[in-house]
């Protein structure tokens, strides 16, 4: 849905209070509040301070439902304007708080609750991407031609849906050294993740997953009886949908396969350290090695202008889809996910491609430039996520400053980030309440504040 709000205020030295009132906030973290105070005290640019105060705590303020179930922490996280918990989004929304949890037990407990809730959801259905807390809720997608179960909001198979929970669990464990969430249920979820990845290598058959939807949007359904376009077995893992929830064209989605390699290695390290499941750890590492080898063989393309680059999607038959999408994992964001160093020469070539007119979803206006994608159904719609990913993966201070400037000018007077905005008119935006974009923007601002505060003005 595209918004063109009429209630936007005139920007000046005074900024209105748009953050959720204290009494209505879902969760309050003392360390996050201290970070906000420190940022505002030291950053001369008052608008940046205002935006940080609004955006960085937005996930905590508005989207988390934290409780204790059977003496264990439980945290249900909605995306914002959609009352459902995506495995990907919920991880991404709380990820920016990881640096604070070692000195904030209450916040650490909230993150542990996310890990526990995600474990439960993966056990319910490792192929689903979004779930309800209340299993009696009826999804608007209940008629999808797939194995829909109670409590599932949507059942689009996306590799990253199983990678993000590992990323969060690994970071939580490294930061706190706590072992409580990593019980027999967690091991079951890891085994299901491994099984699902192997099924979607599609070495002998197409696997158990299929999906179709009666819709006018071709990106919301899969061809070929719901199995998607064919692939030649290579060792790569099929992802039938992208992290945008749009259908892939060629099912070997390269950014997500890179993410899977990192996640499998992290899971293996945790299983080795926390359990006696030696065989499982070896299987996880073996699959990581296999996918990593397949990426070296099939993921790159010799571009006439940019040299060797990573393709966005391939099919194993030699076909390549050359593009990038704003949603993470993207090609641009691979170093942010620890999938490779920023210095990787093929990544640097790919980065130049992604941020050029050779990428069909790179949009450039008079003041703004960034990557979009087909998800919102319109061309020329830049996603702040892509500008943020560009800034988070840049080592060039002028580029980082450019990203900061664009993001500060894109909120259209609302004080928050959005899903996307029109390249020449940020007041034309989609999703007024999109917590992932808000919180990762806060993560970017905090990173700059800690490393190069002079760029904030």
Instruction: Give tens-digit pLDDT for 352-366.
Output: 999 999 999 999 999
pLDDT digits (tens, 9 = 90+) for 326-347: 999 999 999 999 999 999 999 9
Q: Using the Cα atoms of residue 67, residue 62, residue 393 and residue 240 in order, give the sign of their dihedral.
A: positive
- Order across the sheet with 252-253: list the strands: 252-253, 313-314, 320-321
SS3 for 86?
Answer: strand
Q: What is the mean pLDDT of residues 279-308?
A: 98
SS3 7: coil
Q: Is 375 helix (H, G, I), strand (E, B) or coil?
A: coil
Q: What is the pLDDT of residues 190-212, one digit of tens each?
A: 999 999 999 999 999 999 999 99
Q: How confident is the model at residue 241 (pLDDT cuts 50, 70, 90)?
A: very high
pLDDT of residue 8 exceeding 80, the answer is: no
Q: 77, 433 in Cβ contact below 8 A?
A: no
Q: How confident is the model at residue 5 (pLDDT cuts 50, 70, 90)?
A: very low
Return the number of other C-beta atoms located less than 10 Å from residue 138's C-beta: 9
pLDDT tens-place string over residues 149-194: 999 999 999 999 999 999 999 999 999 999 999 999 999 999 999 9
Q: What pLDDT does residue 10 have?
A: 40
- Per-residue pLDDT, averaged over 14-21, amounts to 94
How high does pLDDT run on average in the chain? 96
- Check residue 13 and give its pLDDT: 58
Separation CA 179–CA 177 (nearest Å): 6
Q: Is the dihedral of CA 132, 134, 140, 143 positive or negative?
A: positive
> Which pLDDT value is given to residue 2?
56
Residue pLDDT, tens place only, 21-54: 999 999 999 999 999 999 999 999 999 999 999 9
Contacts with 141 (C-beta within 8 Å, 6 or more apart), sequence order: 148, 153, 154, 155, 213
pLDDT classification of 1: cutoffs 50, 70, 90:
low
Does 373 have pLDDT greater than 50? yes
Determine if the peptide bond prior to 261 is cis (ω within 30°). Answer: no
């Amino acid at each position: 849905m595209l918004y063109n709000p009429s209630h936007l205020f005139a920007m000046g030295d005074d900024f209105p209070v748009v953050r959720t009132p204290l009494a209505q906030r879902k969760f309050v973290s003392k360390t996050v509040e201290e970070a906000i105070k420190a940022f505002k005290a030291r950053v001369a640019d008052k608008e940046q301070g205002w935006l940080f105060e609004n955006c960085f705590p937005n996930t905590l303020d508005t989207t988390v439902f934290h409780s204790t179930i059977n003496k264990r922490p439980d945290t249900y996280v909605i995306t914002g304007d959609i009352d459902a918990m995506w495995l990907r989004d919920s991880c991404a929304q709380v990820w920016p708080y990881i640096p604070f949890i070692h000195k904030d037990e209450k916040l650490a407990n909230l993150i542990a609750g996310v890990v526990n809730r995600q474990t439960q959801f993966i056990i319910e259905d490792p192929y689903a991407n979004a779930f309800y807390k209340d299993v009696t809720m009826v999804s608007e997608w209940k008629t999808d031609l797939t194995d829909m179960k109670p409590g599932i909001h949507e059942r689009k198979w996306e590799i990253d849906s199983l990678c993000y929970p590992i990323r969060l669990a690994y970071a939580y464990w490294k930061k706190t050294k706590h072992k409580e969430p990593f019980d027999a249920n967690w091991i079951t979820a890891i085994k299901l993740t491994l099984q699902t990845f192997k099924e979607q290598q599609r070495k002998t058959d197409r696997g158990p997953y299929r999906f179709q939807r009666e819709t006018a949007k071709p990106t919301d359904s899969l061809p070929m009886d719901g199995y998607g376009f064919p692939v030649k077995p290579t060792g790569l893992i099929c992802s039938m949908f992208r992290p945008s929830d749009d259908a892939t064209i060629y099912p070997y989605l390269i950014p997500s396969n890179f993410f899977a390699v990192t996640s499998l290695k992290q899971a293996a390290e945790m299983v080795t350290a926390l359990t006696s499941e030696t065989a499982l750890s070896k299987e996880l590492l073996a699959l990581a090695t296999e996918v990593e080898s397949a990426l070296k063989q099939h993921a790159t393309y010799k571009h006439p202008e940019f040299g060797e680059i990573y393709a966005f999607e391939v099919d194993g038959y030699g076909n390549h889809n050359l593009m990038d999408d704003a949603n993470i994992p993207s090609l641009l964001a691979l170093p942010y996910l620890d999938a490779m160093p920023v210095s990787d020469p093929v990544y640097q070539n790919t980065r130049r491609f992604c941020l050029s007119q050779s990428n069909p979803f790179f949009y450039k206006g008079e003041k703004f430039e960034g990557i979009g994608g087909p998800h919102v159904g319109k061309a020329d719609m830049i996603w702040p996520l892509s500008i943020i990913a560009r800034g988070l993966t840049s080592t060039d201070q002028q580029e980082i400053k450019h990203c900061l400037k664009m993001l500060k000018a894109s909120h259209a007077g609302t004080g928050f980030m959005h899903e996307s905005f029109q390249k020449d008119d940020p007041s034309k935006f989609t999703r007024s309440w999109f917590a992932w974009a808000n919180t990762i923007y806060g993560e970017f601002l905090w990173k700059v504040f800690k490393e190069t505060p002079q760029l904030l003005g």
